[in-house]
């Protein structure tokens, strides 16, 4: 889901990627870095996106990202203020980028 959000924001001109990379090239670079891997959206992630604790906004992509991070016990690396605020409540680890 992170790829969908990144591609959409890039296409809309709301996001400029480092070194002016295309979304495809950006993800190729990220996935080549140590510690990063691609994760498919499973049934467990999809259901977990709508069973998040506390109050979280309705954006389906953000919900899937957070549910994935929670399932994998991994931090979300983001600039999204809503995800960062949610992490302050202790529901997910997040690293501000």
Rounded Cα distance between 2 and 5, Å, is 5
Q: Are residues 73 and 95 in the same domain?
A: yes
pTM for the structure as a whole:
0.85
> Which residues are bridge partners to 76 per DSSP?
94
Q: Are residues 46 and 6 in the same domain?
A: no
Task: Give pLDDT tens digits for 55-95.
Answer: 999 999 999 999 999 999 999 999 899 999 999 999 999 99
Tell me the residue range of the domain where 58 lies. 39-97
Please state the domain count of the chain: 2
Rounded Cα distance between 7 and 45, Å, is 21
Q: Are residues 48 and 89 in the same domain?
A: yes
């Amino acid at each position: 889901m992170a790829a969908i959000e990144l591609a959409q924001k890039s296409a809309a001109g709301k996001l400029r990627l480092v070194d002016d990379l295309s979304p495809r090239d950006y993800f190729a670079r990220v996935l080549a870095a140590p510690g990063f891997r691609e994760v498919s959206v499973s049934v467990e992630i999809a259901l977990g996106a709508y069973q998040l604790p506390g109050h979280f906004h309705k954006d389906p992509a953000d919900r899937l990202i957070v549910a994935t991070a929670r399932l994998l016990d991994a931090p979300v690396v983001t600039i999204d203020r809503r995800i960062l605020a949610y992490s302050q409540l202790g529901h997910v680890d997040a690293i501000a980028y």
